[in-house]
Amino acid sequence: MKVIVAKSAGFCYGVRRALELVEKTVASHRNAVFTLGPLIHNPQAIARLEEAGVRSVSNLDDVPAKSVIVMPTHGVPRDVVTHAKKLGLIVVDATCPYVRKVHRLAEDLVRDGYQIIVLGDRHHSEVRGILSRAGDNAIAISGTEELRDIELGEHVGILAQTTQSVERYKQVVAAVSEKIKDVRASNTICSATLERQRDALALTEHADVVVVVGGRNSANTRRLAEICERTNVPTYQVEVKEEIDPAWLTNARIVGVTAGASTPDWIISSVVERLLTISPA
């Protein structure tokens, strides 16, 4: 059995940057270091941060004054940073530059009088952060089916959560453009997401089975699994090597491996090593 790994798999620039920023912060501050929610969406990486003394909190009021609070890669609503500073916390912003760009685009659209549609999971912290900058009449949708019950204005701007699929984004733009003449659409799916989705799809052309590695709370990892599943190649998502079931590999000659943008290299390597030790029936 042969194992092939997608050309792009694992940490993207934004995730790597955030982890390096936290490491530097821990080394340079005597104050306690906290993150607001998980820094990235990978439980194993978060566990390593905890071992280094970095604690994750869900509420700023739980952080002692003068402590360091790190804002996560996927960003936060605008008023959160303001509130943190009022509490006397030292704010370190690890928001991914691609997410910051979406924030700026949302603010530009609001200034120009556009109603904003955000394609994404309305409960995801990244989307909540975008919506906080997108005006009172902004709407978050997960697909075209939700447009049927929404009344749109004359001027509509479209943005996407950075981990969305290109196919779904194009469908939303087309559906809105059929109803509204003035549509300003910005494809804000980040290049790392696009690259991983493209390479995952290419993997399915050769693999008999695909294993997608990453946290179950990772939107971009789930998207990779969805893309592979749609090709009808048997696809399985795991967080760690222990979750691999040898029965998945029955009659498999080639196993493809890809991983979300928040998956550490050491986890990917351990999954590959585990697969190589399994002899297909």
CA dihedral (209, 214, 216, 217) positive or negative: negative
User: One of 23, 126, 243, 273 is an active-site residue; which one?
Assistant: 126
Residue 89 has pLDDT above 90, yes or no: yes
Catalytic residue status for 239? no
pLDDT number for residue 126: 94
Average pLDDT, the chain: 94
Residue 281 has pLDDT above 60, yes or no: no
**Beta-sheet strand order (sheet of 115-119):** 139-141, 115-119, 155-160, 182-185
pLDDT number for residue 279: 67
Residue pLDDT, tens place only, 48-75: 999 999 999 999 999 999 999 999 999 9
Residue 90's nearest CA partner among 38, 26, 40 is 26
pTM for the complete prediction? Answer: 0.86
Residue pLDDT, tens place only, 226-260: 999 999 999 999 999 999 999 999 989 999 999 99
Average pLDDT over residues 203-212: 97
- 3 state DSSP class of 11: coil
Average pLDDT over residues 216-227: 92
pLDDT number for residue 280: 58
Structure tokens, 52: 């280094």
Residue pLDDT, tens place only, 171-193: 999 999 999 999 999 999 999 98
pLDDT category of residue 219 using cuts at 50, 70 and 90: confident
Average pLDDT over residues 122-143: 95
Residue pLDDT, tens place only, 14-46: 999 999 999 999 999 888 999 999 999 999 999
Q: Which domains are present in the chain?
A: 2-10+192-276 (3.40.1010.20), 13-95 (3.40.50.11270), 98-189 (3.40.1010.20)
Amino acid in position 185: A
